[in-house]
Amino acid sequence: MQLTILGSANAGGVPLYGCDCPACERARQQPAYRRGPCSALLQTPAGQLLIDGGQPELGERFPPGSLQAILLTHYHMDHVHGLFPLRWGKGPRIPVIGPDDPAGCDDLLKHPGMLDFGITVAAGKPCNLLDLDILPLALQHSRPTLGYLFRHGGRSLAYVTDTIGLPPATLAVLQAEPPDLLVLDCSFPPRPDGARNHNALNDALDLHRAIRPGRTLLTHIGHDLDSWLMANPDALPDGVQLAHDGQQLAP
């Protein structure tokens, strides 16, 4: 399986509108440092699975028939807003699979168009999709949210965003089977007094040490974390790196 990071930003993106911090100025001058809505593409010989739908212009990026399914972590707007125009397209319906959240987002569930929201998944109940063995994982966020442990061809990948820390049951699963690659929420620079809804760097590094994956890729990154790391370039330990838009990895 191959993972492509389509977007690695938190809801504000990088550069943040109106901000002149070092990270935002760098991103304006060097497009490689821009960050878009947090999402990813997982590819296997059986097809392509889009993880979250917050990217704009999904219909232009993915021609009809090129996506076999969309897997949602949750229904916050920055993870689903690209689905709003896509649903009015023509062609075979695209399965959209995610947590059971009857509130959804705005009228997506009421007027799904070509999107099929008929399948929901729950933490701890495995499923199979595109030859991927998938275990949904409970996360700690402000609405029903799932992470996912993917297994394929003897390799494993955990995609765990958005969350603040991890519920004990989820942490136990990942400690019992440390993934080859852990893609982990990390929105803020260190906050010893605690963060809310998303990990700060100290939270993410605590999880990295507790789980001991093959490697950890930090995503859902805010401009202030980028700025902090520009001033503290040696803060990330071996085995931990920042995600970047367009990055491709084989766990």
Bridge partner residues of 134 (DSSP): 127, 150
- Lookup: tokens for 238: 């071996």
Segment 129-140 mean pLDDT = 97
- Give the pairing of strands 127-129 and 132-138: antiparallel
What pLDDT, on a 0 to 100 scale, did the predictor assign at position 251? 84
Higher-confidence position of 194 and 64: 64
How does 90-101 read in b/e, with b if 16+ C-beta sit within 10 Å?
Answer: eeeebbbbbbeb
Q: What DSSP string describes 210-229? A: HH--SEEEEESB-HHHHHHH
Spatial contact of 147 and 72, defined as CB atoms under 8 Å apart: no
Segment 61-71 mean pLDDT = 95
Domain residue spans of the chain: 2-249
Is the pLDDT reported for residue 219 higher than 80?
yes
Q: What angle do CA 198, 10, 8 make, to 5 degrees?
A: 110
User: Residues near 2 by Cβ (< 8 Å), separated by ≥ 6?
Assistant: 42, 43, 44, 248, 249, 250
Instruction: Give the integer Cα–Cα distance in Å for 202 and 235.
Output: 10
* Residue 22 CB neighbour total at 10 angstroms: 14
Task: Tell me the whole-structure pTM to 2 decimals.
Answer: 0.96
* Residue 176 CB neighbour total at 10 angstroms: 8
* Among 242, 249, 225, CA closest to 24: 225
* Among 86, 177, 104, 167, CA closest to 135: 177
Is the pLDDT reported for residue 195 higher than 90?
no
Is the pLDDT reported for residue 94 higher than 90?
yes
Is the pLDDT reported for residue 192 higher than 90?
no
What pLDDT, on a 0 to 100 scale, did the predictor assign at position 196? 84
Bridge partner residues of 96 (DSSP): 70
Segment 79-97 mean pLDDT = 95
Could you tell me the sign of the dihedral formed by the alpha carbons of 111, 117, 123, 129, in that order? negative
Q: What angle do CA 97, 183, 139 make, to 5 degrees?
A: 55
Instruction: Give the integer Cα–Cα distance in Å for 5 and 16.
Output: 19
Bridge partner residues of 70 (DSSP): 50, 96
Between 3.20.10.10, 3.60.15.10, 3.60.20.30, 1.10.3720.10, what CATH number should domain 2-249 receive?
Answer: 3.60.15.10
Is the pLDDT reported for residue 194 higher than 80?
no
What pLDDT, on a 0 to 100 scale, did the predictor assign at position 19? 98
* Residue 102 CB neighbour total at 10 angstroms: 8
* Residue 18 CB neighbour total at 10 angstroms: 6
pLDDT-based confidence at 206, cuts 50/70/90?
Answer: very high
User: What single DSSP character describes residue 124?
Assistant: T
Residue entry with tokens 């021609």: 63
Instruction: Give the integer Cα–Cα distance in Å for 212 and 216.
Output: 9
Is the pLDDT reported for residue 51 higher than 80?
yes
What pLDDT, on a 0 to 100 scale, did the predictor assign at position 91? 87
Least trusted range by pLDDT, from 132-141, 194-203, 217-226, 238-247: 194-203
